[in-house]
Structure 1
Amino acid sequence: MTDSELARNDGQQFDRLPATPADREVEGRASREEVVDWWQERFGVAPETFENVTFWEKGSGKIWAFNADLPSPVRVEGLGITVLRTRQEHWKPTTTGVKRFGREATANVIELEPAEAAAFAAGHDQQLDRWDGDWGYLIAAHELAGEREPIGVGLYLHGELRSRVPKGYQEELAVLE
């Protein structure tokens, strides 16, 4: 299929992501394979995690995950949860996506101390020089009831962890020492 024959993105409907890049009919649209590979490469989330999940795009690069199968396209306002923003230089996971799939992550997860977690959840940026992993988008997490719990998406650059927790998700956490 030539570029001129490619279909156009319709921001008024959900379209299922193609299985592979070779199946792509809309220029710039991510494929299911690319989305699953990205979660695995960036965060170590096993592909099996997404076995029963279908991926959809609505708008330009807003990827949604849905735990069921529907015919494509679908004209509804919402379908599952937003998990990823593509069609930009660096793909960005959403807070909702991290809260849903971040427990399975084995890479690029920064575990925060209670006071750091409280500041992060409230939307505050902070200096954290101890991180020695990749720069870029990280999953910020803290321990809750003996388990690692994702708080949201952080952007780590030059020793600073920038909270990317949207205002609607920001919360005040009690700091227990």
Structure 2
Amino acid sequence: MTDGSASSDAELGENDGDRFDRLPATEDEREVQGRPTRQDVLDYWDDRFGVPPETFEEHTFWERGSGKIWVFYGDLPSPVHIEALGMTFLRTRQEHWKPTLEAVQRFGHHAETCVIHLSREQARTFLAGDDQAIEWDGDWGYLIVAHNLAGEVEPLGVGLYIHGELRSQVPKGRRREL
């Protein structure tokens, strides 16, 4: 910011775990080092999962703390000092970005790539939080895990596929024995 107001410059120039800051649209608008841009997020979902950017046209993206990205249907002035805004969406301050279970369940049906379809037994194992050996000829890394339910493909969550093994990323509190 170049308006000379030192207190707002200091407040807006760094990550703060007590507020939500809208992601800048592009790199040129970035004020916090390391903060992803809206375009980065759209490119990630498009490149990794084939989710078209227009899927998120009505949504805004926010960072709270360092690398915890939230998605909100609508828009608000930035920054926002509240406890929650929309839903958690993506973790970005690690080597490989990781979508959240909530994001995959909400937007995963738009995905065209990096979606692994599980049988009924494999889906049970996945939802219980257990890892399993599975043949997959797609990319390694974080995948959208899906299962056919009532004739429709239903995203179940996020899996990490490496070395012939699908590792369940279902959080402990959300695991189910079916």
SS at match of 2:109: helix
Partner of 1:61: 67
SS at match of 2:123: helix
Partner of 2:151: 146
Q: Which residues in structure 2 correspond to 1:148-167 (within 5 Å)? A: 148-167=153-172
Instruction: Verify: 1:30 aligned to 2:47, yes or no.
Output: no
Q: Select which of 114, 122, 127 maps to 2:128.
A: 122
Q: Select which of 37, 45, 53 maps to 2:51.
A: 45
Q: For the residues of structure 1 that align with 2:31 and 2:151, how far apart are their CA atoms?
A: 46
Residue identity matched to 2:128: A
The CA deviation string for residues 60-86 of structure 1, in whole angstroms up to 9 with x for no partner, is: 100000001100000111000111000
TM-score with structure 1 setting the length: 0.93
Q: For the residues of structure 2 that align with 1:83 and 1:8, how far apart are their CA atoms?
A: 21
User: Over the residues paired in the alignment, what is the CA RMSD in angstroms?
Assistant: 1.3
* Overall identity of the aligned pairs, in %: 65
Residue identity matched to 2:59: V
Residue identity matched to 1:69: D
Q: Which runs of 5+ in 1 are unaligned?
A: none
Residue identity matched to 1:87: R
Alpha-carbon shift at residue 172 of structure 1 (Å): 2.4
Instruction: Verify: 1:91 aligned to 2:94, yes or no.
Output: no
Q: Alignment length, in residue pairs?
A: 169
Moved over 6 A (4+): none
Q: For the residues of structure 1 that align with 2:67 and 2:76, how far apart are their CA atoms?
A: 20
SS at match of 1:18: coil
SS at match of 2:43: helix
Q: For the residues of structure 2 that align with 1:168 and 1:73, how far apart are their CA atoms?
A: 31
Alpha-carbon shift at residue 41 of structure 1 (Å): 0.3
Q: Which runs of 5+ in 2 are unaligned?
A: 2-9
The CA deviation string for residues 82-141 of structure 1, in whole angstroms up to 9 with x for no partner, is: 110001111011101101110100000000000000100110000002x00000000010
SS at match of 1:138: strand
Partner of 2:175: 170
Q: Which residues in structure 2 correspond to 1:66-77 (within 5 Å)? A: 66-77=72-83
Q: For the residues of structure 1 that align with 2:175 and 2:131, how far apart are their CA atoms?
A: 13
The CA deviation string for residues 23-45 of structure 1, in whole angstroms up to 9 with x for no partner, is: 10000000000001100000000
SS at match of 1:29: coil
